[in-house]
Structure 1
Amino acid sequence: MPDIDAANAQILTLLQNDGRMTNAKLSETIGMSETPCWRRLKRLEEDGFIDGYQANLNRRKLGLGVMAFVQLRCSEHDQTATAEFQRIVEVTPNILACHNTTGADDFLLIVVARDLDDYSVFVDTTLRRLPGVTSIRSNLSLKEMKASSKLPIILPANPMA
């Protein structure tokens, strides 16, 4: 696995800001010739630092005006129920994220819907039918103040400093 040195950190940061940046522009921006820059980029991809590339879409332009943070509590935690729960979550496009959490609830989901009526139908037809769900608590986003999937790139501490 390559070290995340300053050059790799720059590559990762620049690509998070513009995933369509060409290798020529990338190498020019970081002050490196194209071949070594391309090799670093390919290595970062091969080693899994870069999972893929995608366009960031505007959910409101797509008619998805409601975003809900949903806390679920489950009574069943056996392997079969958990596998079925995970399968349903993975194939449901309205669920943007699902985290198994600590605390009173078992899962935290981020869900989008067209409007409150659409969200209500989603709760009834999808969330209430998930295996073992005993409690559903929804918090609706009133204002999205920050939305990002960009990760901070933290360089390892320099032991020689």
Structure 2
Amino acid sequence: MEPEQATMTRLDARDIEILKILSREGRISKADLAARINLSASPAWERLKRLEAAGVITCYRAEVALKRIAPHVTIFVTLELDRHDAGSFRTFETLAEAEPQITACWALGGGFDYLVQVVTRDIDSYQRLMDDLLDRGAGIARYYTYVVTKTLKSGASLPFDVLLGPDRP
């Protein structure tokens, strides 16, 4: 499998500032965003629309304190497929994409094929999920389960200064 190839979008200092603000405060009003980047509302709105159209901003989300509304467990799973051909990867990825309890999934280079994040009600429901994936022909050779016991940091804004380097605005 090849890594995703992305078209790089040219950003100036104000675009980057918009991204920094939105990554921390996704519900900020357009008027407040414009004031924070020192632009009037119309040019700020145009920049925001351009970033969305270019696929730089892909969605807006709320971070939910799940522990306040439902019992749950978060589990990370590293797994290896039994075969390493394009069809096997597609089969697993199709099943993973369709499964609502799989909240994130990354293809890896190295010892494991995938890192999967599962959020489910309890360990029993997690095991039923894994048994179901095995029964449905996901092609999993082996998997390793890591139960999250404490969240230290989650949903942090992106490290734009590190990613863009000192030469960028």
What band does the TM-score fall into relative to the shorter chain?
0.7 to 0.9
Is residue 2:55 matched to residue 1:48? yes
Structure 1 residue runs of 5 or longer lacking an equivalent are none
Evaluate the alpha carbon distance shift between residue 130 and residue 64 of structure 1 in structure 2; reply closer, same or farther with a 3 A threshold.
farther
Q: What is the CA distance between 1:58 and its match in structure 2?
A: 2.2
Is residue 2:126 matched to residue 1:119? yes
**What are the Cα deviations for residues 32-55 of structure 1, in whole angstroms up to 9, with x where unaligned?**
111111111111111111001122
Structure 2 residue runs of 5 or longer lacking an equivalent are 1-7
Q: What is the CA distance between 1:2 and its match in structure 2?
A: 5.3
Alignment partner, residue 133 of structure 1:
140
**What are the Cα deviations for residues 82-136 of structure 1, in whole angstroms up to 9, with x where unaligned?**
2221111001011111111122221110111111222222222235644321101
Q: Percent identity?
A: 34
Distance 1:37 1:123 in 2: 46
Evaluate the alpha carbon distance shift between residue 48 and residue 34 of structure 1 in structure 2; reply closer, same or farther with a 3 A threshold.
same
Alignment partner, residue 73 of structure 1:
80
Matches within 5 A, 1:2-41: 3-41=10-48
Return the TM-score normalized by structure 2. 0.82
Evaluate the alpha carbon distance shift between residue 141 and residue 128 of structure 1 in structure 2; reply closer, same or farther with a 3 A threshold.
farther
* Secondary structure at 2:126 match in 1: helix
RMSD, aligned α-carbons: 2.1
Is residue 2:155 matched to residue 1:148? yes
Q: Determine if contact 2:9/2:56 at 8 Å carries over to the other structure.
A: no
Matched AA of 2:102: I
Alignment partner, residue 95 of structure 2:
88
Return the TM-score normalized by structure 1. 0.86
Alignment partner, residue 158 of structure 1:
167
Distance 1:152 1:76 in 2: 36
